[in-house]
A and B are shown apart, each in its own frame.
Chain A
Amino acid sequence: MEYFLQQLINGITLGAIYGLIAIGYTMVYGIIGMINFAHGEIYMIGAFIALGTILAIGPVGAGAVVLAILLALLVAMMLTATYGWMLERVAYRPLRGAPRLAALISAIGMSILLQNYVQLTQGARVKTLQPLVAGGFTLMEHDGFEVSLSYMQILIVVATIALMTIFTLVITRTALGRAQRACEQDSTMAALVGINVDRTIALTFVMGAALAAVAGLMVTLYYGVIDFFIGFVAGIKAFTAAVFGGIGSIPGAILGGLLIGLIEAFWSGYFSIEYKDVAAFSILVLVLLFRPTGLLGRPEVEKV
């Protein structure tokens, strides 16, 4: 029971991070029907900016840790959002209306470009950060097995739930969200009724990038080790999470992320760690066999 609880905590934390990145995939897919393969790299850049900000602030006392993290969050979100905007402007907008395959290749190209850009400017070695938020609770103890829950894990889960709620509200309740949904359904028609389609799509990229920056900051704080290659693995996992939950759906992205995190944790915990990725992807295939649009995805309606 204690062991189960501990693996549950591990899985939820890991899944929340996947979910945060997956929102970016799902939002872009929802609006232009294209996988932004460079999103993993945007997350990696977010992590580098967050780490850079924290290191620039320098050592802070216990009281200022919260301020330092908030500042890092703000700087990382703003700068990473700029990268997201530039990405859309440079790599996708010129290809709007071109066949989807062209945009896909452009996305892969941007992914390689950004990865190499960070490798060349920041070096190929890992960057490290000592724990800023240390400590946590011991939830229960039984036969010498302590179930530990760290402050950092709480922070990650709370941030994920908060951001998912905020972004769901933005999409369902605001004018911007209405414009996004209109572009998703039919961008030509949306333009005809006076929606600035380019601006709406650009804002979607900006929002996705800002979320990726939050995930980047969380990973930097939680694991304390980042390198130029982290975007690749995280991107694949998050993309899988987005497909799992139903691509296009924000709660689906979080649900997919959590499920993949939990499958990995429990498979590692009760079976073999070696085969956890095999397990996660096998279950994904099974789900897609029975629900081709993912868990919360809506079947695509043929527009007439």
Chain B
Amino acid sequence: MKRSTMLMTAALAVAVGFGAAARAEIVVAVVGPMSGKEAAFGEQMRRGAEMAIAHLNAAAGVLGQKLKLEIGDDRCDPKEAVAVANQMVGKKVRFVAGHFCSGSSIPASRVYNEEGIVQISPASTNPQLTEQGFSNVFRVCGRDDQQGKVAGDFLADRFKGKRIAILHDKTAYGKGLADETKKALNAKGVTEALYEAYTAGEKDYGPLVSKMKQSRVDAVYVGGYHTEAGLITRQMREQGMDAQIVSGDAMVTNEYWAITGNAGQGALMTFSPDPRKNPANAQIVDQFRRAGGDPEGYTLYTYGAIQAWVQAVTKAAKADSAAVIAALRGNQFETVLGRIGFDRKGDVTAPGYVFYQWKDGKYDYYTP
């Protein structure tokens, strides 16, 4: 009995000792859907974060300390997101690049706010994220009220007098974006012919497609993720519908094309300007390509989010949350996303949204 108590005490001492030794590094995390339907985006975030940490550590780390990366998987599930956020608190994380889905980022941000952890989302576009009044929450992507405005104005101009359907998947991201688009469209005096919600995770959208066909829709706006958007596109073409697909930033993955094949030809989507096209990033893009593939979609956005935080820590000269938050708000940062800063709410001060078009398995700026 006594012997086992001694052993346990020894084991505990060793564990505490290791814990103290690990303090010499600053722990940061990337959290996103590493598994599940949106795993393609989780992979983009993981690759962006791993490359950023490798580059920073090769260049002497931050404040003379190395960075250690924790990877969290929230499967884009709001409940899971809160659980992972608490795990990250337990791992003494200083900074979280994440999450991906707005429906995950918003509940997780409450945990980070209570614990004073800085959160910069590379991808969550629902306005509510930065409207909660949390000083620790930032994002390097745009907002859906900007994105929806761009999409709604485009639909109103381009499909004037035509019939437009608006669909959403009932998630914080999908419904939020669809509603902003509808608002912008209606403000221009155009009313949609059809407004429908579908359930994410289903495979059969035949009845929905027939309904749009019946309503003689010329353009379909999808507020949702690429899997469902891809299935809807494919089933539309199978039923002989050639209406224009317009969607948002959750289609910036090659997986969309893998689902639709040629049926996806010409599909339009809004996304922030592509950092891959910035000549200043040529070297980094090349490193990503050699390390296993193009840094598509949100890869460089995750990279940029980490850069912004590290530069803020350097400016503040300490990793303390309050100081870093002040530094994030008061400075401009040189990142792969260009020169960026954050406004009072935590939204990025970078150019908004532009249209992209899928063509032959790749997406590129849309030229009408």
A residues apposed to B, CB below 8 Å? 3, 6-7, 10-11, 13-14, 119, 123-126, 128, 130-131, 134, 136, 138, 144-146, 148, 150, 219, 223-225, 227, 229-230, 233, 264-266, 268-269, 272-274, 276-277
Contacts and interface: CB of A to CB of B under 8 A. Distances in A.
Nearest to B209: A10
A13 B202 contact: no
Nearest to A138: B240
B197 A273 contact: yes
Nearest to A267: B207
A11 B207 contact: yes
| Nearest 5 A/B pairs, CB to CB | A124-B35, A268-B207, A10-B206, A128-B258, A223-B203
B207 A272 contact: no
B201 A229 contact: yes
B179 to A, nearest CB: 15
Chain B CB within 10 Å, residue with most, of A11, A123, A146, A273: A273
A225 B43 CA distance: 19
Nearest to B238: A150
Contacts of B170: 274
Interface in B192-222: 196-199, 201-204, 206-208, 210-211, 213-214, 216
A198 B37 CA distance: 40
A12 B34 CA distance: 36
Interface in B174-206: 196-199, 201-204, 206
Contacts of A125: 39-40, 43, 255
A104 to B, nearest CB: 25
A145 B214 contact: yes
Interface residues of B, number: 35
Contacts of B40: 125
Contacts of B213: 6, 145-146
B329 interface: no
A149 B341 CA distance: 54
B255 A128 contact: yes
Interface of B: 34-37, 39-40, 43, 170, 196-199, 201-204, 206-208, 210-211, 213-214, 216, 227, 230-231, 234, 238-240, 255, 258-259, 261
A255 to B, nearest CB: 19
Contacts of A277: 199
A189 B346 CA distance: 75
B6 to A, nearest CB: 39
A68 B125 CA distance: 44
Contact of B35 (A6, A119, A148, A273): A119
A225 B259 contact: yes
Given A136-B238, A225-B230, A269-B211, 10 more contacts: A6-B213, A10-B204, A13-B206, A126-B37, A145-B213, A148-B238, A225-B231, A266-B207, A273-B208, A277-B199
Contacts of B255: 125-126, 128
B46 to A, nearest CB: 13
Contacts of A136: 238
Contact of B214 (A3, A233, A272): A3
Contacts of B204: 10, 14, 223
A131 B196 contact: no
B258 to A, nearest CB: 4
B196 A272 contact: yes
A133 to B, nearest CB: 11
B240 A269 contact: no
Contact of B259 (A144, A145, A224): A224
Contact of B210 (A7, A126, A223): A7
A130 B261 contact: yes
B216 A3 contact: no
Nearest to A269: B207
Nearest to A230: B203
Contacts of A150: 238
Nearest to B255: A126
A125 B203 CA distance: 15
B216 A273 contact: no
Contacts of A268: 207-208, 211
Contacts of B227: 126, 225
Contacts of A145: 213-214, 216
Nearest to B36: A124
Contact of B39 (A124, A131, A146, A265): A124
B206 A14 contact: yes
A233 to B, nearest CB: 7
B259 A269 contact: no
